[in-house]
């Protein structure tokens, strides 16, 4: 019995070390990226596709959508269209979007179908025109100048879905926790996909701004059936043979909710959706990777298995407590000691790699503030993770800003 416990500790510590190792590899690969050199790459000088539709699903975004449309119009070339899907709106979203120069469709349904329902209506509308490229942009997002053009170029060139860096700014009213949440989103939406990009590997679709050939978009179910619709869309596209490419120089900005309750609901939906896909789709992808000999499916499966940094940290602490309890019960030596040093060493390596990347890309002040508040932030999310066990979020709900 004692031997089995010791071996179990070693296996669990090894599994956690693999997940930490994913972060290490991605962080180290990201550190090799030189944005100044990347800006001079000749691929950015390719022609801009003209058959492009920017599809904007919107629900009660009258206060923000005009700015988003204007940002798109600022770089749209002749032939680009903007199609807004006003979905279950109780405000003047449709009117504001039309006045700003967009083409608008309205949709009312049960209210809990989320973005996939709006996207399906948009795709059905575009069937007659069959544009070459479709870019999906949330109504509360602002792309940096040139980001949409670069995304359209990359998608046309590689005939792949392309994902920008989706960056979420902290809310001034949210305090330190909003700042930490912004940093955690930066790790998820920029650092990790950048590392995959540097290794020549696909990434997850996460957030706003994804672009792809129209034929690829209409071939999948738009993440239907999952509250983490972006990740589900990644998986569905991958199974059709379309891996998502990260474009680090293309950046799309949005903000975290300023209302505390809304922020918690948003985090709950993100975390529960990720956990559901981890339990169901990640094992399937790993098995499919073996069956189809698909390295990309293995990569995305492993990416799904690697949880957000707060959950990974909490899981690491829980396993450490278990290992220390076993050491107290069994004494030092053997597999338990190996498990302890493996567990500790992998954490130190991961902490060092992620910290180096934070310092490189975000600066010392932001990095030290993030690290100082991260433990309390992770503990504040315990209720979200425990809620997954008995009160799981299953339906999409709009986040109030």
Q: What is the pLDDT of residues 124-176, one digit of tens each?
A: 999 988 999 999 999 999 999 999 999 999 999 999 999 999 999 988 777 78
* Secondary structure in 3-state letters for 238-268: HHCCCCCEEEEEEEEEEECCCCHHHHHHHHH
* 142, 253 contact by CB (below 8 A): yes
Comparing 263 with 148, the larger pLDDT belongs to: 148
What is the C-alpha separation between 348 and 249, in angstroms, rounded?
30
Q: What does the pLDDT read at residue 346? A: 96
Residue 166 pairs in a beta bridge with 252
- The partner residues of 164 in beta bridges, in order of sequence, read 247
Helix (H, G, I), strand (E, B), or coil: what is residue 365?
helix
| Residues pairing with 83 in the sheet | 55, 103
Q: Give backbone dihedrals phi and psi of 224, rounded to 5 degrees, phi first.
A: -60, 140
Distance between CA atoms of residues 188 and 181, nearest Å? 10
Q: How confident is residue 299, by pLDDT bands cut at 50, 70 and 90? A: very high
Question: Which of these, 366, 349, 350, lies nearest to 358 by C-alpha position?
Answer: 366
Mean pLDDT of 351-375: 96
Residue 246 pLDDT > 70:
yes
pLDDT of residue 39: 67
Percent helix, strand and coil across the chain, each to the nearest 5:
60, 10, 30
Please state which of the ranges 26-40, 212-226, 258-272, 382-396 shows the lowest mean pLDDT.
258-272
Q: Cα separation of 199 and 53, whole Å? A: 30
Residue 42: is its pLDDT beyond 70? Answer: no
Average pLDDT over residues 173-193: 91
Does the pLDDT of residue 295 top 60, yes or no? yes
Contacts of 178 (CB under 8 A, 6+ apart): 170, 171, 256, 263
Question: What is the spatial distance between Cα 159 and Cα 173, in angstroms, rounded to a whole number?
Answer: 42
Nearest of 113, 53, 67, 63 to residue 88 by alpha carbon: 113
Helices 175-186 and 260-292 sit at what angle, rounded to 10 degrees? Answer: 20
Mean predicted confidence (pLDDT) in 31-58? 80
Averaged pLDDT for residues 77-103 = 92
Among 44-58, 119-133, 206-220, name the one with the lowest average pLDDT: 44-58
Residue 381 has pLDDT above 80, yes or no: yes
Q: What is the pLDDT of residue 339?
A: 87
| Model pLDDT, residue 264 | 66
How far does the chain reach from its first CA to its final CA, in angstroms? 53
pLDDT at 37 over 90: no
Lowest-pLDDT range of 31-45, 119-133, 257-271, 273-287: 257-271
CA distance 144 to 251: 6
pLDDT of residue 1: 59
Please tell me the predicted confidence (pLDDT) of residue 48.
85
259 or 359, which is more confident? 359
212 phi, psi to nearest 5 deg: -160, 160
Instruction: Share the mean pLDDT of the chain.
Output: 88
**Average pLDDT rounded to a whole number, residues 217-228:** 76
- 370 contact partners, CB below 8 Å, separation of at least 6: 179, 180, 183, 358, 362
48-140 has which fold?
Answer: Spore Coat Polysaccharide Biosynthesis Protein SpsA; Chain A (3.90.550)
Percent of the chain with pLDDT over 90: 63
Predicted local distance difference test score (pLDDT) of residue 175: 79
Token look-up 């299953």 returns 394
* pLDDT tens, position by position, 310-340: 999 999 999 999 888 888 877 766 778 888 8
Q: Which one is predicted more confidently, 308 or 45?
A: 308
Query: What pLDDT does residue 336 have?
Result: 81
């Amino acid at each position: 019995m004692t031997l089995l416990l010791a071996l179990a500790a070693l296996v669990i510590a090894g599994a956690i070390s693999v997940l930490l190792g994913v972060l290490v590899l991605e962080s180290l690969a990201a550190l090799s990226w030189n944005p100044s050199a990347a800006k001079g790459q000749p691929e950015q000088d390719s022609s801009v596709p003209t058959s492009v539709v920017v599809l904007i699903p919107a629900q009660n975004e009258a206060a923000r959508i005009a700015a988003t449309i204007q940002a798109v119009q600022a770089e749209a070339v002749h032939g680009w269209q903007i199609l807004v899907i006003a979905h279950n709106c109780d405000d003047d979203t449709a009117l504001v979007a039309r006045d700003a120069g967009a083409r608008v469709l309205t949709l009312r349904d049960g209210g809990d179908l989320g973005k996939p329902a709006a996207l399906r209506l948009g795709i059905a509308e575009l069937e007659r025109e069959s544009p070459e490229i479709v870019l999906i942009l949330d109504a509360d997002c602002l792309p940096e100048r040139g980001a949409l053009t670069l995304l359209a170029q990359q998608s046309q060139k590689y005939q792949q879905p392309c994902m920008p860096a989706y960056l979420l700014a902290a809310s001034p009213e949210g305090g330190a926790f909003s700042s930490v949440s912004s940093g955690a989103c930066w790790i998820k939406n920029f650092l990790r996909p950048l590392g995959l990009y540097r290794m020549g590997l696909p990434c997850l679709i996460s957030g706003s701004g994804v672009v792809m050939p129209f034929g690829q978009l209409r071939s999948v179910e738009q993440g239907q059936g999952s509250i983490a619709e972006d990740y589900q869309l990644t998986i569905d596209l991958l199974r059709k043979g379309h891996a998502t490419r990260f474009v680090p120089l293309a950046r799309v900005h949005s903000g975290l909710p300023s209302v505390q309750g809304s922020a918690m609901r948003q985090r709950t939906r993100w975390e529960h959706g990720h956990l559901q896909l981890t339990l169901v789709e990640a094992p399937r992808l790993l098995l499919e990777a073996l069956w189809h000999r698909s390295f990309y499916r293995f990569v995305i499966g492993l990416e799904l298995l690697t949880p957000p940094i707060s959950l990974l940290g909490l899981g690491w602490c829980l396993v450490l407590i278990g290992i220390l309890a076993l050491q107290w019960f069994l004494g030092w030596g053997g597999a338990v000691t190996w498990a302890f040093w493996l567990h500790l060493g992998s954490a130190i390596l991961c902490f060092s790699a992620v910290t180096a990347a934070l310092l490189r890309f975000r600066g010392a002040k932001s990095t030290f503030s993030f690290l100082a508040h991260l433990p309390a932030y992770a503990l504040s999310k315990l209720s979200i993770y425990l809620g997954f066990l008995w009160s799981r979020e299953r339906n999409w709900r709009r986040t109030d800003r």
